[in-house]
Amino acid sequence: MANTTIQVTKQTRDHLAELAEERGLSIGQVVDALAAAQLTAAQRAEEVAAARTHAREVIGVDVSDEEFAALDVLGSLRRIAEEKVLAMPGRNAA
């Protein structure tokens, strides 16, 4: 992917700078962490399919696709993981 300049508002930049300072990170590291926590639609679909298969085959629970989608378990886990990653003091983006 080409390196492009992205324009953000001063308010957004200041907010990111404050988040970064609080966590001992650079703005780039905060943006990297936020981007890493967001899955593409294809990645979400793969996770949902794997979780459904696991529930059906390993746990023995027959959950319909509609029931599983309504639970949003994966979304909850992603939000929790994102909060924990961003709260880590001195987290390195490596």
Contact by Cβ (8 Å): 41, 49: no
CA–CA distance, 21 with 6 (Å, rounded to integer): 21
pTM over 0.75: no
**Alpha helix positions (H), the chain:** 10-23, 27-36, 41-54, 65-71, 73-87
CA–CA distance, 7 with 33 (Å, rounded to integer): 19
At 36-89, the pLDDT tens digits run 889 899 998 888 888 888 877 877 777 777 777 777 776 777 777 788 778 877
CA–CA distance, 63 with 58 (Å, rounded to integer): 12
Contacts of 13 (CB under 8 A, 6+ apart): 27
pLDDT at 94: 46
